[in-house]
Amino acid sequence: MSKKSWILAIVAVIILALGAVGNQLTSQTNMNNLFAEGSKAFSTSQNTIEAGDAHRQVAVLEVDGTIMDNAGAGYFSEGMDYQGILEAIEEIKENDEVQGLLLTVNSPGGGVYESTELYNALLDLKESRDFPIYVSMGQMAASGGYMISMVGDQIYTDNETTTGSIGVIMQVPNFSGFMEEHGLSMDTYKSGAMKDLGSSYRGASDAEKDVLNSFIQEKYNRFVDIVANGRGMSTDDVKKLADGRIYTGSQAVENGLADQIGYEKDALAALRADHNLETASVVDYTPTSATSWITSFTSLLTDKQLFTGQAEMNAADEMTQILEVLEDTSTPQFYYMYGGE
């Protein structure tokens, strides 16, 4: 039995056990529907969008959501399947029948590391296979989402697409005022002046700000270089547009940050027409996310009618969440993302 099958089997046992104890599941039909959705959620098979020559394919790959690696949370992680997308890129790379790629992007960006890794994986695919990549921007393709679009030979965007946001952001909460107001303090023992750089328990010194700004500037310059290479622009021209502001799709085309106004179907049609791929089959390689199914399952488990107890969060649970937030914000994180963290 595969790992995914084991997970579904374990979930089945949990649901059946809870049903026996609480006797509150609404119907067997609802349970069956949930498992049907679960089976689909864990599917990794390719999906043929348009039949054609089986030995000539146009691959479609969708990047939808924040570009973050949540692999540590396994199948129950939230957001896009980051590792799955990297694996799909490798699969496309190794398949000689694929002769073009339509990359669809609907993302505000994400982590600096992940955005850069994904861009490099796509660039390696393009250089290794030497086939055309067209990009279709969805509702949003900003910051890291814009960065990965730079592999495109042609970039299609809607007039109302939100794009741009070329830059780096890092935010560190400062709880020092709150702590002082409530008579709280943090004793820190460190080997060097910079060891607690980015601490949320005090304000940053000028020297610390200089260190962090040097990090940001280096990552910003790399982003600018990627845009310059992708769009055939000078770094000076890119920097005039790269102050972090967002652009509509039409503004992006006017400023040379995108090529054409159009939807996904237009980008696909152009890719096929421009490269003699009209008879090729169109195959979706996007890994299917289990997020929607997991959300349904979690809602089922937390439904107050499922248990004899109450679902409200008590004070101890609230305190635990607060402590988790403090812990998560203790280390500075750098983002190529529109809207901050």
Active-site amino acid positions: 143, 195
What are φ and ψ of residue 176, in 5° steps?
-65, -40
Question: Which amino acid is located at 199 in the chain?
Answer: S
Q: Which residue has the tokens 């649970």?
A: 317
What's the CA gap between 195 and 173, in Å, rounded?
Answer: 17
Question: Which amino acid is located at 25 in the chain?
Answer: L
7: enclosing H helix or E strand: helix 3-22
The token duo for 118 is 């994904």
E-assigned strand segments in the chain: 47-50, 53-64, 98-107, 109-111, 133-142, 154-157, 162-164, 246-248, 260-261, 280-284, 335-337
Cα torsion for 254, 163, 267, 221, to the nearest 10°?
A: 90
